[in-house]
Amino acid sequence: MTTLSVSVRLVNGEAPNEGRVEVYYKCHWGTICQNDWSIRDANVICRQLGYPSASQAWHSAHFGRGSGVIVLSNVACRGNESSIDLCHHSGWYVTSGCNHYGDAGVTCDLTSPEVTVRLINGNAPNEGSVEVQYRGQSGSVCGYNPVWRIEEANVVCRQLGYPSASQAWQNAHFGQGSGPILLVNVACDGYESRIDQCDYRGWLMSSCIHSHDVGVTCDVTTPAPVVVRLANGNTPHEGRVEVFYRCEWGTICGRHWGIEEANVVCRQLGYISATQARWYAHFGQGSEPILLNNVVCRGSELRIDQCDHTGWYNHDCSYHSYDVGVTCNETSPNPVPVRLTNGSFPYEGRIEIYHDGQWGTVCDDGWSIEDANVTCRQLGYPPASQAWQGSHFGEGSGPILLRNVACNGTESNIDLCEHSGWFNHSCSHAEDAGVTCGEQLIVNDSSPVSVRLVNGNAPNEGRVEVYYKCHWGTICHNGWSIRDAHVICRQLGYPSASQAWHSAHFGRGSGPILLSNVACRGNESSIDQCDHSGWHVTSGCRHYSDAGVTCYLISPQQVSVRLINGNAPNEGTVEVNYTGQWGSVCGNNPVWRIEEANVVCRQLGYPSAFQAWSNAHFGRGSGPVVLENVACDGHESRIDQCDSVMSSCSHYYDVGVTCDVTTPSLVVVRLADGNTPHEGRVEVFYRCEWGTICGTSHWGIEEANVICRQLGYISATQAWRNAHFGQGSGPILLNSVVCRGSESSIDQCDHAGWYNEDCLHHTYDAGVTCNETSSSPVPVRLTNGSFPYEGRIEIYHDGQWGTVCDDGWSIEDANVICRQLGYPPASQAWQGSHFGEGSGPILLSNVACNGTESNIDLCEHSGWFNHSCSHAEDAGVTCGEQLIVNDSSPVSVRLVNGEAPSEGRVEIYYKCHWGTICDSGWSIRHAHVICRQLGYPSASQAWQRAHFGQGSGPILLNSVACQGNESSIDQCQHSGWYGSYGCRHNRDAGVTCDLTSPQVTVRLINGNAPNEGAVEVQYRGQWGSVCGSNWRTEEANVVCRQLGYPSAFQAWSNAHFGRGSGPVVLKNVACDGHESRIDQCDFRGWLMSSCSHYYDVGVTCDVTTPSPEYLKSYIAIIIQSTLVGQQQRHAIHHALPLPS
């Protein structure tokens, strides 16, 4: 038998995602007792209901007391179960004395939250108070009940990237927080990877106070060896014991302090043993933190941290009055004491030697890495990384004791090396020698550099500060860009950056400037993996150049681009959609180049850019400037992958592009305003518009020859400049044209680029006069078409233009006309004055070409002026436009007249025209295609009846039929281009697109069992019913499958399970039956219905296999129903179907 998971529901909440938990078991709904009820249990309930997770686990009948049985108690889920009955519990109906005062409840998340942690107020990045960020709000964690343990601390440290925790702190060890307390009662097993995977009551449910705020100290990858020194003694051999741990010096509290412990300290310092163990602050009280207490050594340890102790910083010494000290045996294997002074760390500094009762320095003459190695060995450090000269750590003040030190590097102490003798020198303190010993073993340098954001208005923004070798410092803004900011934000756990800030936007820092000229590729996991000038190499930067970032809290919807104000879809001002807002791009500094334009065009689906425009070429925008200083390598696939920095820019510098289409359009030329067909102003048809050529000094007979040959003449007789045939009115398309004379088309000549003109006016428009002795003695032209390659045929004969009668007009005749004009073969031979009636004489009739002729007058015909036709029979032609206007790229779409960019009347760009779509059959599937084509995830509404106003262009499509998975609207079935079949603009289609993908869930209510009821759909947090004027088993099957049942047993209409009271969210649902979710079916849109609740639909879903309890209940209900009449029995029979 197949066992179905029990059904659950939430009752009495203020929203569908919260309420008292009720479980359906053996034909009864019952509650759950709160004993041991936690967030893990709540997570299972919420996932079972289709929500991603739970935000709260409620006790004490928070949503009111139930009235049925209590079916479960002591529920203990691991958190990964798919159904509540898979969790451990006391058994069904074993309630351990619970009553309904203890009914459990939940609040479910509508979307998956991202929970991050950080440490604040510590002395290093690996320690501090624990703060958790939940849904954009940061707060502390209460560690009162249960207590905060190493298991919980381990989880926090692992979430932060550390291997484990070294200390779990309670009682606000790092100070009390001031914000909300987000979590309480946290209990981890210790293997979880995130704090929200542990057990807890819920978010923001605490009555705890900040005196119980918890903290952690996390282990770094390689523990740092502990260094000791003696302070405040009368000789180098004695003093207060100070320990260097995690970048700070501190003291030891003297309980249990004796000669064994003193011996370890002295041996660590290079002495044979100790002669005295001192306590009660014999050498004065320290001022640093008390680091160790209750130290107990066996005496054989090499370092003080190898002895037993109560833990770092874990002491009950109130004051430094118990600070310990030692006196070491002066008879040591290192008779000359050495120390390092004035360094930032114990392992570096100016070298000072104790000799003849005084400390003195070493002259740097001949000072080498070998000498430095001996010093480091003498002090117990690893080999030196640097031998410093020139008083790198400042000038000393005592005597200069040694000069010309020459060690071979194997000596155990400095006085065993050769030197010039004590006090024998001619040096000054400007030459004091120094050393840096191998710090990689002292201050761990193997873990990623830590970063933090300071002085922002929210945790996700601020001045960038980097923790490097015990110091927080800033980054200089030289070269600082969005790629660098992405790395910082990802390192902090955010998905990406929204801004890279310059010029100390978040205030000036006060520490060192650690990095400059940072250059990240953008995929690094830590800022120190990026190229930079080197640590502390700041190139003269000051803190007024500190870099900052603003990080996204959640991943932004993929940044989309569009082109506006162009004459065609492939050109215009570049606008970028950033967090739902469209804005322009500033191209001032650096200038907007072809590399950036290429990225924009590729993002829009074009192969590359033809032109990069600056200085608001297509007009100035009015919205925000969302990007500035964009710098692309050219290989990026999206504009947001390029480098950019925000500052302040004006719309005077708005950028634009002209993108290449897949197949270049064939350039067509014509002559205008001449006295004969053989002469006139040169006009060029390019990218759907006619324009002129600027006839500067470059325009000559070679260029004119190319124009005339392109028109079918042998050559040119004259090249004209200075608008000889009058000034044109269209754009100036070409300038600086230089031809060799052998080209077959004017666009094959060299020129300055399309639209790239220096001519401010048409006063330089070029013209030609062609040789009338041409290879086509009868000039032909096409008039009144929408494009150069189509129109009414007109022939020039006997000094006048005339038309051709359509008697006998065929595709062969049309092919000759197209060949004569230089176009590809004809696609259509038109009759019946398709392009309008002409006004001149009718010159030819009964034209009969075999199709191979080079011009029309070589074909047979009735003779010039010999006809019995009217202009209602004027012949026309459409030549092969696929080579004239590119038709291989996807059809472009736009939304017009909406209140937001995501909605409006749908307009399509097809063959140089914007037009609308007729709403015949228009539904959500078609709207989905439009919205996805525009870069939105889906559609929420499919509008009819010119909801966004009537368009004015052609109606291009009608009877569109999409499956819904097409990538472009022209891939859907339709009646054909321009096939509007009587449609008017009062039926223009529109859409509203979703800005984010909605999560659509369904439930059944008011049924007698979980598998039946009225269908309710949740859309964007709102539950509502479905109107079912034609609700069928196909639609019911989809609902049941979405709920986890195999199919539907019955599709109910007419409010069978009662009328709803909320909104009607869906109407006219039409499913094929194979969909997995109701929102994949066809419908008009969300919340668009004027339907009444009288038509609310319902379903009864099939269960897989009936249980014995189900059969008993079914039979009992059937027997009982006989007592109340045949009609009720019939209804219940359908409510509880007996599976076949």
The answer to whether the predicted template modeling score (pTM) of the entire model surpasses 0.85 is no
Asked if residue 1125 has pLDDT above 60, the reply is no
The pLDDT value recorded for residue 805 is: 96
Query: In this structure, how many other beta carbons lie within 10 angstroms of the beta carbon of residue 1134?
Result: 13
Asked if residue 774 has pLDDT above 70, the reply is no
In angstroms, rounded to a whole number, what is the distance separating the alpha carbons of residues 714 and 707? 10
Strand, helix or coil at 1017?
strand
* From 458-467, 526-535, 601-610, 667-676, the region with the lowest mean pLDDT: 601-610
Asked if residue 379 has pLDDT above 70, the reply is yes
In angstroms, rounded to a whole number, what is the distance separating the alpha carbons of residues 1135 and 1129? 10
DSSP 964: S
What are residue 924's phi and psi, to 5 degrees? -60, -30
In angstroms, rounded to a whole number, what is the distance separating the alpha carbons of residues 48 and 321? 61
HSE of 522, CA atoms in CB hemisphere, 13 A: 15
In angstroms, rounded to a whole number, what is the distance separating the alpha carbons of residues 135 and 178? 18
Q: Tokens representing 369?
A: 């890495």
Q: Tokens representing 90?
A: 């006391």
Which residues 6+ apart lie within 8 Å of 458 measured at CB?
Answer: 136
CB 586 within 8 A of CB 655: yes
Pick among 3.90.550.10, 3.10.450.50, 3.10.250.10, 3.60.15.10: CATH of 336-443: 3.10.250.10
Q: Tokens representing 337?
A: 């004491």
Could you write out the DSSP letters of every residue in 457-488?
SSTTEEEEEEEETTEEEEEB-TT--HHHHHHH
Q: How confident is the model at residue 1130 (pLDDT cuts 50, 70, 90)?
A: very low
Pick among 3.10.250.10, 3.30.565.10, 1.20.810.10, 3.90.180.10: CATH of 780-883: 3.10.250.10
* From 398-402, 464-468, 537-541, 914-918, the region with the lowest mean pLDDT: 537-541
Closest by Cα among 1084, 697, 1131, 1054 to 927: 1084
Asked if residue 1115 has pLDDT above 70, the reply is no
In tens, the pLDDT along 1027-1048 reads: 987 899 999 999 999 988 888 9
Q: How confident is the model at residue 1101 (pLDDT cuts 50, 70, 90)?
A: very high
H/E stretch holding 292 reads strand 290-292
Instruction: Evaluate whether the domain defined by 450-551 bears CATH number 3.10.250.10.
Output: yes
CATH 3.10.250.10 in the chain, residue ranges: 7-109, 116-218, 224-333, 336-443, 450-551, 560-659, 668-770, 780-883, 892-994, 1001-1101
CB 1088 within 8 A of CB 1022: no
**Cis bond leading into 1046, ω under 30°?**
no
Instruction: Evaluate whether the domain defined by 892-994 bears CATH number 3.10.250.10.
Output: yes
The pLDDT value recorded for residue 726 is: 95
Query: In this structure, how many other beta carbons lie within 10 angstroms of the beta carbon of residue 904?
Result: 21
Pick among 3.40.50.300, 3.10.250.10, 3.40.50.880, 3.90.1150.10: CATH of 224-333: 3.10.250.10
The pLDDT value recorded for residue 1111 is: 43
In tens, the pLDDT along 128-179 reads: 999 998 877 788 998 876 678 888 998 998 888 777 887 888 888 999 988 8
In angstroms, rounded to a whole number, what is the distance separating the alpha carbons of residues 493 and 468? 19
The pLDDT value recorded for residue 645 is: 67
Q: How confident is the model at residue 813 (pLDDT cuts 50, 70, 90)?
A: very high
CATH, range 7-109: 3.10.250.10
The pLDDT value recorded for residue 3 is: 42
What integer is the mean pLDDT of 193-209? 78
What integer is the mean pLDDT of 724-751? 88
CB 921 within 8 A of CB 987: no
Amino acid at 1106: P
The pLDDT value recorded for residue 5 is: 60
In angstroms, rounded to a whole number, what is the distance separating the alpha carbons of residues 293 and 308? 10
Pick among 3.30.70.120, 3.10.250.10, 3.80.10.10, 3.40.640.10: CATH of 116-218: 3.10.250.10
Query: In Å, what is the CA distance from 671 to each residue of 203, 685, 691, 728, 765?
Result: 77, 11, 11, 11, 12
Distance of CA 1070 to the CA centre of its chain: 35
What integer is the mean pLDDT of 460-484? 88
Pick from 82-86, 216-220, 545-549 the range whose average pLDDT is largest: 545-549
In angstroms, rounded to a whole number, what is the distance separating the alpha carbons of residues 657 and 606? 11
In tens, the pLDDT along 538-582 reads: 778 999 999 999 888 766 656 788 888 887 777 899 998 876 678
In tens, the pLDDT along 11-39 reads: 998 887 899 999 988 888 899 999 888 88
Asked if residue 481 has pLDDT above 50, the reply is yes
In terms of phi and psi (left: phi > 0; alpha: psi -120 to 50; beta: otherwise), the region of 279 is: beta
Q: How confident is the model at residue 1126 (pLDDT cuts 50, 70, 90)?
A: very low
Characterize the bridge pairing of strands 53-58 and 668-672. Answer: unpaired
The pLDDT value recorded for residue 747 is: 85
Residues in the chain: 1140
Q: How confident is the model at residue 1129 (pLDDT cuts 50, 70, 90)?
A: very low
Asked if residue 447 has pLDDT above 60, the reply is no
Asked if residue 468 has pLDDT above 90, the reply is no
Cα torsion 785, 786, 787, 788: sign: positive
CB 172 within 8 A of CB 213: yes
H/E stretch holding 1131 reads helix 1126-1135
HSE of 220, CA atoms in CB hemisphere, 13 A: 23
Fold of 560-659: Mac-2 Binding Protein (3.10.250)
Radius of gyration for the chain, computed over Cα atoms and rounded to the nearest angstrom = 42
Residue with token string 């070679």: 702
CB 488 within 8 A of CB 450: no
What integer is the mean pLDDT of 210-218? 90
Asked if residue 1122 has pLDDT above 50, the reply is no
In angstroms, rounded to a whole number, what is the distance separating the alpha carbons of residues 149 and 156? 11
What does the mean pLDDT of the chain come to?
83
* Residue 925 CB-density burial (10 A; 0-12 exposed, 13-18 middle, 19+ buried): buried
What integer is the mean pLDDT of 274-302? 89
Pick among 1.20.120.530, 3.40.50.720, 3.10.250.10, 1.10.3720.10: CATH of 1001-1101: 3.10.250.10
The pLDDT value recorded for residue 441 is: 42
In tens, the pLDDT along 922-953 reads: 888 899 999 988 878 888 888 999 999 999 87
The pLDDT value recorded for residue 926 is: 92
Asked if residue 221 has pLDDT above 60, the reply is no
Q: Tokens representing 111?
A: 């979307």
Closest by Cα among 268, 262, 317 to 290: 317
In tens, the pLDDT along 970-1019 reads: 888 887 777 667 789 999 999 998 877 777 889 999 988 888 999 999 98
In angstroms, rounded to a whole number, what is the distance separating the alpha carbons of residues 1107 and 1047? 18
Question: What is the C-alpha end-to-end distance of the chain, expressed in Å?
Answer: 15
The pLDDT value recorded for residue 777 is: 60
In angstroms, rounded to a whole number, what is the distance separating the alpha carbons of residues 600 and 560? 9
Asked if residue 760 has pLDDT above 80, the reply is no
CB 759 within 8 A of CB 696: yes
Residue with token string 């080579």: 883
What are residue 1111's phi and psi, to 5 degrees? -65, -40
In tens, the pLDDT along 310-325 reads: 777 777 787 898 999 9
Fold of 668-770: Mac-2 Binding Protein (3.10.250)
Q: Tokens representing 385?
A: 């990384």
Asked if residue 1136 has pLDDT above 60, the reply is no
The pLDDT value recorded for residue 1133 is: 32
